[in-house]
Structure 1
Amino acid sequence: MPANSADAAAGFEVVLIKAGRTKIRYPARLVGDDGTRVTVRAAWASPGVRDFGFVRFEPGDVFTEHYWRDRWYSVKEVRAADGSLKGWYCDITRPAGVSGTVIVSEDLDLDLWRSADGTDVFRLDEDEFAGSGLTESDPEAARAAMTALDELETLARGTDFEALLS
């Protein structure tokens, strides 16, 4: 059901699951929900700085996070405290579960980064995915995850990437 203006101010909680355990929970503000995609905004939820080499996530960063109920990924637009765009961090996940004001996203160990100018696109954590055992325990999910990563990489290298989020 689409969000109305009263819903848009509602507090949400994002729960990220990895390997069957809650990795992190954090508060977020609902931006919109069209019934298929729910979008929330949240501050960087981990303590301190996380430096990937190609980008740093740090206190003050703001994430606009897009979760789909029917797609095997989520996309997070990352902005610095001054509002400048750092880029997009994409998690390969099972389709999001949304119940009331809780979004549950199960991380499948594959990630993709797209820089703000679109010139750098990196596939991440393929070694973690290979070691996760998903290809043996749930081959259908593993195939869906790889298909989603390939799809996102194609979108990220093209000019239609930002249209995905509008």
Structure 2
Amino acid sequence: MSIPQPELLHFDSDEANGYPNSPLPVLIYRQVLDTGNAEERADTFETMFKRHGWPPAWRYHLYDFDHFHSTAHEALGIFRGKARARLGGPNGRELMLYAGDVLVLPAGVGHASLEADDDFCMVGAYPPEQYPEIERGDPAQLAAAQARVASVDIPENTPVGGPLTPLWGQAT
């Protein structure tokens, strides 16, 4: 399987709402998996993520409130349904997510589900030794969140394969 090229989305810090976001771009891989049923896609995402150093952690939906993780990068493999999501916090950008897509969210990037199919579900994964805290924007805590985001190690590979440094290395 060839490694697809991701869309890159950049989000500046949202100081008014306390969302650090990241100088690193969000990676959106479209239609990484386009065959099989939902369970097969979930299993395949988990196997793929694990093989590339992003151990799968859960199967769940996307929270319907803006939040971020300042202590971990996150990979999301959509295996069932579709959703309209917002990235970057309350003033962020809306996009559609479909079964077969993968998002790679750098630590600090806000994300939320705005509307989703009843059966929308994803596989979530994090690099080893990175543990996400669910955080909501707090302008008074922005500097501390930005410091945590800056200290999160960048993994060697993307969760779908291939080196991450060419995509994230120049932004650090």
Do these two structures clear the TM 0.5 threshold for a shared fold by scoring above it? no
Q: Which has the higher strand share?
A: 1
TM class, shorter-chain normalised? under 0.3
Q: Normalising by structure 1, what TM-score? A: 0.28
TM-score normalised to the size of structure 2? Answer: 0.27
